[in-house]
A = this chain, B = another copy of it.
Amino acid sequence: MKNVKYPTSFKTYQKPEISVKNRGETTEKWVNLANQYYLESNQAVIHKKPTPVQVVKVDYPKRSAAKISEAYYKTPSTTDYNGLYQGLYIDFDVKETQSLTSFPLTNIHPHQINHLKAVHTHGGLAFLIIAFVRLDEHYILPFLALSKYVERSIKGRKSIAIAELREDGLKIEMGLNPTYDYLTPLKSYIAQQKKR
């Protein structure tokens, strides 16, 4: 850490240029920038896991680094993000939808739901970040609320309406440092959880 008070990435955050157009592909990028800021400002230790790859063939050219010449993307067995915030294990995935009305539950792999459930059971904070990119609305949906909708989807509706997310989700507001300040809405939620 070069400088805790004035992290080198401040400049990046002072000129947020978020347009609805590019945000669709970039929610993960905003989360990654936020994580970098949280780490440099000593607020949290949260990292994105590498994308899992099945390596089939590796070449070892003379005097160069090993080159992977055949590999395939694998389905992740867990979520993309985990880490440590306020002494708490946190674990989440980032999901985007182009829909204006609802978030389809088919966007979540069953093994991801199982993983989030295991984290919740063991005392961690499990959630999804759900981005309605065309509405420019971003929510944190804690596992307890998510599981309610997953159960409903067995016999009923297979998606979460935007009105339901506005009710059950914690809204992520754009900030200055970091721009995508997704930990702030979790603060009061964590305080509530600790009381129980």
Residues of A within 8 A of B (CB): 1, 39, 42, 44-45, 47, 49-53, 55, 65-74, 76-78, 82-89, 91, 114-115, 118-119, 121-124
Contacts and interface: CB of A to CB of B under 8 A. Distances in A.
A122 B84 contact: yes
A121 B69 CA distance: 40
A67 B72 contact: yes
Given A84-B89, A89-B84, A122 B68 contact: no
Contacts of A52: 50
Contact of A53 (B1, B50, B78, B122): B50
18 contacts: A39-B118, A42-B121, A45-B118, A47-B77, A47-B78, A50-B51, A50-B74, A53-B53, A53-B68, A65-B72, A65-B73, A66-B72, A66-B73, A67-B70, A67-B72, A68-B72, A84-B89, A87-B122
Nearest to A47: B78
A119 B45 contact: yes
A91 B70 CA distance: 31
A76 B50 CA distance: 9
Given A50-B51, A114-B1, A70 B72 contact: no
B47 A50 contact: no
Nearest to A50: B52
A69 B73 CA distance: 12
A191 to B, nearest CB: 16
Contacts of A1: 114
B84 A45 contact: no
A115 to B, nearest CB: 8
Nearest to A115: B45
A39 B70 CA distance: 31
A84 to B, nearest CB: 5
Most buried by B among A53, A85, A114: A53
